[in-house]
Amino acid sequence: GAVVSQHPSRVICKSGTSVKIECRSLDFQATTMFWYRQFPKQSLMLMATSNEGSKATYEQGVEKDKFLINHASLTLSTLTVTSAHPEDSSFYICSASKVYTEAFFGQGTRLTVV
Amino acid sequence: DQQVKQNSPSLSVQEGRISILNCDYTNSMFDYFLWYKKYPAEGPTFLISISSIKDKNEDGRFTVFLNKSAKHLSLHIVPSQPGDSAVYFCAASEGGSNYKLTFGKGTLLTVNP
């Protein structure tokens, strides 16, 4: 199957700082990437849909100024958590799709804000 | 309001027996359904999918059944193996395979040797 790489896999940051998470499709071009968030023992919740070359579409309740998404190329999307607070601590996962195929997920990033 | 529901948080089966994981949905616009397997601290891995125009799809030991009238789908794993132990997520899409997904909360499957 296709490979989606997410980096870093784990990050600890201080409250008030910003953290950038990268999502790369290694062997295919992804016009659309998705960012999800998972709380313990909960389902993956879609945060936003990222389209190459255009603004991301955010789900209801997700602050677009706090979770900045950039999809600069067909193989790279980034999620920046700005002014992180402890309640932003979570597991963040990206996915990318080729046309007419299922979504492939990255390994996820465990963010801990202290 | 959860549009995709997996009402069993956990399931335990014996190696070699059948595992049946269930999923219900409420959104009649969903037209594509997927099952993902997930280990702790890893991203989900795609297992099998089914389009709403079908009622069954089979891939090796994995079979997904879709009952549209009941808005219910199930994943059958037979025979179950200890390596199948993981959390299984049911997901649904309104726009086909590469549209945004709505996930259930997952079911932890434990296959005992």
Give the residue-averaged pLDDT of A70-83: 92
* A95 touches B at CB < 8 Å: yes
Tell me which DSSP letter residue B9 carries.
S
Q: Is A77 an interface residue toward B (CB < 8 Å)?
A: no
DSSP state letters, B33-69? EEEEEE-TTS--EEEEEEETT-SEEEETTEEEEEETT
Q: Which residues of B touch A (CB under 8 A)?
A: 2, 4, 9, 34, 36, 41-46, 49, 89, 96-98, 100-106
Q: Identify the weakest region by mean pLDDT among A93-102, B30-39, B62-71, B98-107.
A: A93-102
B95 vs A106, residue with greater confidence: A106
Contacts of A41 in chain B (CB under 8 A): 9, 105
SS3 state at A92: strand
Please tell me which of the candidates B46, B98, B106 has its beta carbon nearest to residue A100: B98
A89-110: average pLDDT: 88
The helix/strand/coil state of A66 is: coil
CB-side exposure of A113: number of CA atoms within 13 Å?
Answer: 16
pLDDT-derived band at A32 (thresholds 50, 70, 90) equals confident
- Tell me what pLDDT residue A52 has: 81
Q: Which residues of B touch A102 (CB under 8 A)?
A: 34, 46, 49, 97-98
Higher pLDDT: A83 or A40? It is A83
Q: Do A44 and B97 touch (CB under 8 A)?
A: no
**Is the pLDDT score of B97 beyond 70?**
no
**Quick check: B97 and A106 CB within 8 A?**
no
Mean pLDDT across the stretch A52-61? 89
In angstroms, what is the C-alpha Rg of chain A?
13
**Predicted pLDDT of residue A48:** 94
Give the mean pLDDT of chain A. Answer: 91
Between B98 and A43, name the one with better pLDDT. A43
Does A105 contact B44 at a Cβ distance shorter than 8 Å?
Answer: yes
Would an 8 Å CB–CB cutoff place A34 in contact with chain B? yes
What is the band of B98 on the pLDDT scale with cuts at 50, 70, 90? Answer: low
Residue B58: the pLDDT is: 98
pLDDT tens column, B41-74: 788 999 999 999 999 999 999 999 999 999 999 9
